[in-house]
Amino acid sequence: MSGLSWLVERPIAHRGLHDLNQRKWENTLSAFAAAADKGYSIECDVHLAADGVPMVFHDRDLERLTGQKGKVFDKTATELGAMTVGGTGDRIPTLAESLAEIAGRVPVVIELKGVEGKDDRLVAAVAADLAGYRGHAAIMSFDHWLVRRFATDAPGITAGLTASGNETAELEAHFSMLAHSPDFVSWGVADLPSPFVAFVRGRLGLPVITWTVLEPADIQRTFAHADQMTFEGFEPPLAR
């Protein structure tokens, strides 16, 4: 844990410090600047554009956030970068632009959201953007096929498993991914307590962050069973 103390030392703003998409929208440079200015770590989501550029965007479909039809993986970085988010002045940023905005001021945790068959280059492309980045950064994913590529395509980068669920089949799948030696786990707060989380913290000594903390009960559940929270919709104190 000591080598990853930076990962859990401060709350993590889910998709940046936005205002639930009223005026400052998720996964935008404005949300990242606001989080860094307040001293919060930042979580963001990345898809791959048609021309292989990592873009910071949560959904596979464009419509909810841009009002336009289509899929992220069918558009080039230039096309995506021309689209405004939520009718604001913010446009869809590349990961490189986002990292330049954060500039190492606070840690960043990047969730890779791949489309199997479309995004085979995603891990390597994100690793290339992180090469030489002067700041704490980690990658993580729900997608097991991406996690399996972390060691080969992103060696040396702090990498985690994003997961939830305590059904027997789900737990078996989670435990199987420990063969790929994740550095940390990002766990759904609604599924705490969890035997998987208890094992990786107690037996393996891995840090666990939770998602997505929205209310006081989620905060209490996080710090009873995990190490730090990924929050949204409020501004927690930097220190417990």
Q: What is the pLDDT of residues 91-120, one digit of tens each?
A: 999 999 999 999 999 999 999 998 888 888
Distance CA 89, CA 148 (A): 37
Distance CA 191, CA 184 (A): 17
**Domain-embedded: residue 236:** no
**Domain-embedded: residue 7:** yes
Q: Which two tokens stand for residue 236?
A: 């927690």
Q: Which two tokens stand for residue 63?
A: 């419509």
Helix (H, G, I), strand (E, B) or coil at 192: coil
**Domain-embedded: residue 238:** no
- CATH code of residue 148: 3.20.20.190
Containing structural domain, residue 116: 2-231
**Domain-embedded: residue 189:** yes
Q: What is the pLDDT of residues 133-179, one digit of tens each?
A: 999 999 999 999 999 999 999 999 999 999 999 999 999 999 999 99
Strands (E), the chain: 12-14, 41-48, 54-56, 108-112, 137-141, 158-163, 184-188, 208-213, 228-231
Q: What is the pLDDT of residues 3-61, one digit of tens each?
A: 999 999 999 999 999 999 999 999 999 999 999 999 999 999 999 999 999 999 999 99
Q: Which two tokens stand for residue 40?
A: 């919060």
Provide the number of structural domains found in the chain.
1
**Domain-embedded: residue 142:** yes
**Domain-embedded: residue 15:** yes
